[in-house]
Chain A
């Protein structure tokens, strides 16, 4: 093979020469009027980069809480006989201590933990923490924009998310406990305070929190879409967008179309709870009395919920896919394989995600005939997913892989996406779902494919863009420890759950002792719990690494440490408000020109050399 020329570029001069002058900095007399003082710079900031960091740090906060919750309920499942009295200082009355001083976790709190764990991770961490962080951070930087189309809405979006989090956090301290009817909140359990303690005030706060959250997602989403469509710099055609931006765009569109349906469902639930309507309630006898509700259907709620709920898993996984594509290509020094196929896959996954929701409802009382269509569309969605996997594999093939931490996480992502995606073929096929529905098979499946995989995508992104965010690198050794421990323990936690599920063990069981069929797996449950605890501590290393590196990490010395092609690496090491100090860069090529004409890489702002024919 021919020798490859290593080159360094000086973006400043190129942009100065060819850039687009939007007269941005001429309006600034005596500094940035939007960022005076600490509060408007770091708290109520309208700078997309600060808002992204706010999303990320809030996401980390919630992830730690949710992971801690999972450790507590895993202790109950793995070691139900052990004395939990030592948790009493933390959990108070939810640890019931008997006369012998043996403490046990109260079942109502077990269910609250499971519920809030799911809610937090799905919405606060993997939606807000993932797409909120990276859409905000990368869209303007990668399309060559000064900021979001509406920086104010963007700020509002974060603060609605913050409010949602605050309400949810407060609900943890209610004397009746937070909501405990499962993160899907199916009525009538979620509609009737007499059905469960957590369905009282806990549910009021849960609903309030999620309504705020949806407002946040919609404000963010409409901003992302507008920004991508309108604020691309000169030369940045849609087919020159990095796959990250494509995935954020499709994610935002999905969110904008599906979250309103969820919120409509929530409002009907609120009406049933407070106004005495009967959207979801009928023929109910509870707490010694027959309720005056007839004609409603709990299945209606499930339709509304899963109309968001299924697209939601793509809202979670698509940004991770985009990040991984970008990270993988950069560290493999090779163009992403099948760029257009990737875009078509992202778009078709987005489209199909609206046609599969009822595969969560095969045994909900739905007319069995309808399930035929949902089997079909659900399995069809495996095709674009398979295409993406093959494309990633081929991107690695014959690459020059720099096995740095972000690359390791990208590889881990693909592994989890394969393992978890394939089990979806079981669940999507209704006959198998009869047995596997609501068992640990489902828990194993979705934790691998949209829990751990999305986290790996997120970490790939954090380790990769941390230098851009903070001008320092994260510790590589800690990053590797984080990677290996998490990779192994995540598989040790969630892989065995699939065997539990095939054996028929239902999820959301406080204890398995009542059933002979389900109580045969003590050893496996212990193993899962031990690895869950190990995985939890590995995350503490990540958190330490993150905050330590902000202040003490190795400093970034060049603008483009990964030798990447995208525009964010043409800004200053510490980009200010407005991102580029002078003119905006203009774009002359797609983002994957690695090894072209024996040159190691050609950034997007690089104009065509003499005689060079730009293909993309």
Chain B
């Protein structure tokens, strides 16, 4: 109903304008013979043009002044990156140059339109060319443009220069997809692991990281970009599906993310998020509540965060591809960095997506070996008999069977080595089960498992007569059998050192 009403009113208004116009035309037609009517008409239009002239220039200056605190290089919005000021400067120089030309030409345009309007008896000049003038207004713009071009090219080549392989820099992988950014950091090795789009598995391996590349093992993913102030950062920019564009407005960074064509942008942040907030806090437009609905919400400057946006149309969710960027002091970065956990080890290791699920990585072998040796030595030196038991934490069997899992071999190898290092000892291999199922079967199973361990160790060169395999069935639980967790503890293989 309101729609209908508004449409009606607008149509009525248009109809009135049209009717009045037609009447006005007829009135003018009657007046046209009148002396001076045309002069008066052109004078009025000329005056309008002059009013517009002044009004327009005032509007331009007033609006520029009004919005200056939101513009790059002005108010709080000086660039937060090392290369940013060169862009802001070039912007300013261009603004001044074009501003002068704009005011002069715009003013001249409307002023001439007013001044040289027709009136009775006026005669136009026949001026049709003036070589000197034409040379001047070709040469002057050419000179000004030369300055802009040179400044532009110098700034551009500095900004787009790649990192020097010698220098120290932080590399971050940002990969756009419909409709979010994936952010990946290299781990301690400082290098991002290889990836291939054919390996992508949604929810598991979003980037298609190749886990066989050792550089991937310590890479970690982050929900926000955290970078240390003053550190050169090379963003390696990728896209999974369509074009995206990596846009950090406060840092004057923008680069398209192109499927099949990796791009990069090198940037050194110079202002921490906190420092930027402090800068904003001095401006009244940032002292308002951050949530306009809630007057008690924290002020805008306090809620401020650097933002990463997408600047290339990528589909219907294009406008929502936001990530927070945090610039922090180097110490804070160090602390944050050290807290991050490897994506591979946390989410992929030993799952079916792990190409190494049946073997240990060198550092894991080291860790487990140290752990085993530690416990072995403790047991070896123990005076009490109960202390001479070593649990084989990583020896496992397939469910309901006495077949060792592939990963069991590492700990058994350590055990074999320890036996060889201490030829004077003998051991008892003890098999234990939980209480699920038939006790008699459990007894058989535990015996079979103890024997399997003994057989393996024999193969590894430990004399069979130094070992006894004993099955304890479900008789010696070390934890409750009422919980899955407890039952898992009870299913175990132990070595007991007999001197």
Cβ of A517 within 8 Å of any chain B Cβ, yes or no, is: yes
A-B Cβ contacts below 8 A, count: 366
With a CB–CB cut-off of 8 A, which chain A residues contact B240?
284-286
A397 touches B70 (CB 8 A): no
Asked if B54 is at the interface (CB within 8 A of a chain A CB), the reply is: no
Q: Are the C-beta atoms of A481 and B17 separated by less than 8 Å?
A: yes
Chain B interface main SS type = helix
Task: Answer yes or no: A176 CB below 8 A from chain B CBs.
Answer: no
Contact B125 A371 (CB under 8 A): no
**In the complex, which residues 78-122 of chain B have their Cβ closer than 8 Å to any Cβ of chain A?**
86-87, 90-91, 94-95, 97-98, 101-102, 105-106, 108-110, 112-113, 116-118, 122
Question: CA separation between A187 and B259, bound complex, in Å?
Answer: 10
A194 to B184, CA, bound (A): 26
The docked-state distance in angstroms from the alpha carbon of A506 to that of B316 is 15
Known: A434-B254, A475-B25, A499-B71. A403 touches B113 (CB 8 A): yes
B21 and A435 form a contact (CB under 8 A): no
A581 at the binding interface (Cβ < 8 Å): no
B48 near A484: Cβ-Cβ < 8 Å: yes
For B139, the closest partner residue in chain A by CB is A383
In angstroms, how far is the closest chain A Cβ from the Cβ of B7?
9
A502 interfacial by beta-carbon distance below 8 Å: yes
Of all chain A residues, which has the CB nearest B4?
A86
Which interface residue of B14, B25, B263 has the most chain A CB atoms within 10 A? B25
Chain A nearest Cβ from B1, distance in angstroms: 9
Residue numbers in A under 8 Å from B300 (CB-CB): 516
The digit string for B229-256, where 1 denotes a CB below 8 A from any CB of A, is 0000000000011110101011011111
With most chain A CB atoms within 10 A of its CB, the pick from B22, B138, B260, B307 is B260
Whether A111 and B118, one on each chain, are in contact in the complex, defined by CB atoms closer than 8 angstroms, is no
Looking at the assembled complex, report how far the CB atom of A367 sits from the nearest CB atom of chain B, in whole angstroms: 9
Is A283 an interface residue, CB under 8 A from the partner?
yes
**CB <8 Å contact, B157 and A394:** no
Q: For the complex, what is the distance from the CA of A325 to the CA of B274, rounded to whole Å?
A: 56
| Complex contact A435–B112 (CB within 8 A) | no
Chain B contacts for A86, CB-based, 8 A: 2-3
Q: Are B261 and A375 in contact (CB under 8 A)?
A: no
Find out whether the CB atom of A415 lies under 8 angstroms from the CB atom of B109.
yes
**Please, which residues of chain A bring their CB within 8 A of the CB of B243?**
186, 188-189, 298
Q: How far is the CB of B118 from chain A (nearest CB, A)?
A: 5
Complex-state Cα separation, A497 to B484, whole angstroms: 64
Q: In the complex, A338→B128 CA distance in Å?
A: 6
| Chain B neighbourhood of A394, CB < 8 A | 127, 130, 133
A484-507 contacts to B (CB < 8 Å): 484, 487-488, 491, 495-496, 499, 502-504, 506
Are A476 and B98 touching (Cβ within 8 A)? no
B70 touches A294 (CB 8 A): no
- CB pair A487–B116 under 8 Å, yes or no, is no
Pick the residue among A288, A387, A408, A496 that contacts B138 (CB under 8 A): A387
Find B259's partner among A283, A506, A520 (CB 8 Å cutoff).
A283
B237: nearest chain-A partner, CB-CB: A365
- Our pick among B116, B198, B305, B309 for the contact of A396 (Cβ within 8 Å) is B116
* B60 / chain A contacts, CB cutoff of 8 Å: 495
Closest beta carbon of chain B to A536's beta carbon, Å = 10
Contact B260 A284 (CB under 8 A): yes
> Is B58 in contact with chain A by the CB < 8 A criterion?
no
B20: chain A residues at CB < 8 Å are 477
B303: CB under 8 A from chain A? yes
Measured CB to CB, the residues of B under 8 A from A are 2-3, 10, 14, 17-18, 20-22, 24-25, 28-29, 41-42, 45-46, 48-49, 52, 56, 59-60, 63-64, 67, 70-72, 77, 86-87, 90-91, 94-95, 97-98, 101-102, 105-106, 108-110, 112-113, 116-118, 122-130, 133-134, 137-138, 141-142, 145, 148-149, 152-153, 155-157, 159-160, 177-178, 197-198, 200, 202, 208, 240-243, 245, 247, 249-250, 252-256, 258-261, 263, 285, 290, 300, 303-305, 307, 309-320, 322
In the A-B complex, the 4 residue pairs with the smallest Cβ-Cβ separation, listed nearest first, are: A282-B260, A504-B249, A368-B160, A477-B21
- Can you list 17 A-B pairs with a CB-CB distance of less than 8 A? A186-B312, A195-B178, A284-B197, A340-B129, A363-B254, A375-B156, A379-B148, A393-B108, A400-B124, A403-B118, A418-B102, A425-B94, A426-B94, A430-B156, A435-B91, A437-B311, A517-B307
Given A475-B21, A475-B22, A477-B22, 13 extra CB contacts under 8 A = A186-B313, A195-B242, A297-B260, A298-B260, A379-B152, A397-B127, A400-B122, A400-B124, A414-B109, A430-B152, A437-B311, A481-B21, A594-B126
